[in-house]
Amino acid sequence: MLDFSKSAKGLLPAIVQDYKTRRVLMLAYINELAWKKTLETGKAHYWSRSRNKLWLKGESSGHVQIIHDIFVDCDADTVLFLVEQRGGAACHVGYASCFYRRVAGDDILIEEEKVFDPKQVYK
Amino acid sequence: MLDFSKSAKGLLPAIVQDYKTRRVLMLAYINELAWKKTLETGKAHYWSRSRNKLWLKGESSGHVQIIHDIFVDCDADTVLFLVEQRGGAACHVGYASCFYRRVAGDDILIEEEKVFDPKQVYK
């Protein structure tokens, strides 16, 4: 269903979108194992490139992502997860979405408040 | 503003979303040149991995993407383009979105019609 050979390291990008608001929450990477675990459990799993290990999103914060729908793109090398984001925030910095910074000319603006304090959540 | 050093080839993923409906249309890759051209022109430019060249989206089809907003993620290694998709279709196969296939168990379903016939558009 997916063509993991498209990437040298067998990692494909997964776009994560809120299933209700359709806000894009984050982008992460999956390998075959993360893909299989996501399908099996109905919770989004990724491959952490920094830690080089399987990553159940929310394993530390409790902010898991419940899968509502999955779409595959025309080239079978990108997936789109429509999720329910538990805890209301996908970003480890504390914002609802990782895309909390808007480009405005040469500036970058933050126009929203954090949902949680990372110091309280990642202990 | 972006950290192109995050990727070996200097390519970062760009998620493309319809600015009105918030439907995710596609994912493509940008390098520094494509990023600069996008900011300068207000039209989405990418780096084609298959052709290894700068790619003005819509250069063949006329289906350009007019930039409405740009967001940068927490790690500065992914961007989100909110665009007006001219021609009503982002996918070279003819669908409105590249994500026209939904995963349903072991099956993959297509639940929408093509907006255009690729044979007529790419001559």
Contact A31, A11 (CB under 8 A): yes
Residues from chain A that touch B24, judged by Cβ atoms under 8 A, are 15, 17, 24, 80
Q: What is the pLDDT of residues B36-85, one digit of tens each?
A: 999 999 999 999 999 999 999 999 889 999 999 999 999 999 999 999 99
Q: From CA B104, how far away is CA B26, in angstroms rounded?
A: 20
- Where helices occur in chain A by DSSP H, the ranges are 32-41, 118-121
Q: What is the ipTM of this complex?
A: 0.96
**Predicted confidence band of residue A123 (pLDDT cuts 50, 70, 90):** confident
CA distance A119 to chain B (A): 16
Output the pTM of the full model: 0.97
CA distances from A46 to A79, B8, B39, B80 (A): 12, 20, 31, 20
Sheet with A65-72, edge to edge strand ranges: A24-30, A12-18, A79-85, A65-72, B101-104, B107-110
Chain A contacts of B1, Cβ < 8 Å?
103, 108
**Which of chain B's residues have a Cβ under 8 Å away from the Cβ of A73?**
26-27, 98-99, 101
Which tokens hold the place of B90? 């982002």
> pLDDT tens digit string along B85-99?
999 999 999 999 999
- Kindly report, residue by residue over A82-106, the tens digit of the pLDDT: 999 999 999 999 999 999 999 999 9
> Tokens standing for B48?
């084609």
Under DSSP, is residue A6 helix (H, G, I), strand (E, B) or coil? helix
Mean pLDDT in residue range B21-37: 98
